[in-house]
Structure 1
Amino acid sequence: MLFKSLEFKNVVGQKVKVIEIPLLEEGSTYAFMIQLRLQKFITAIYQETKPKKCYSFKEYLKKGMKWPDYEALFKKTELKNNA
């Protein structure tokens, strides 16, 4: 799975980085859900007065999603013969 990161400045002007954002195809069943959760997560970070410098979106999803959905989203595909 590919991940992307996002950097922005919050209300106070501090630079904040969000890492481990899953990159999904447009037709994916989880694309809309991830987009909404990311928007909610960034809004919450943006309004904090003392934010951390780096946040993990994957950890946020682990706490907020149902476990079967989380596993299906981040399932690891094993390669044949370690290729």
Structure 2
Amino acid sequence: MPTMYTCSFVDYSGEICMRRCTRSAGCCFYYKALAHNPCSECGKPTRSISGRCQAHIRSFYVGRYYQKHLKKKRVLVQLWLE
């Protein structure tokens, strides 16, 4: 007899699934779902790869945009100096 687990997936509404399942990762609906990680700024649960919620994601993309253009500028200066 397989070991039975309880699915502990937390939905967007804040409810826990609590279905019985044979996988330790979760039930048949949620075993592939991404885990909630806390936002690096406010601690709110998010599934974003960057680790930031919608309210704080802008600073992440602004920083990436700035670094991309700074790198381009350095390459152009190096080419100009050669």
User: What TM-score bracket applies, with the shorter chain setting the length?
Assistant: under 0.3
Q: Which is greater in Rg?
A: 2
* Structure (1 or 2) with the greater helix fraction: 1
TM-score (norm 1): 0.27
* Higher relative contact order, chain-length normalized (CA < 8 Å, sep 6+): 1
More strand by share: 1
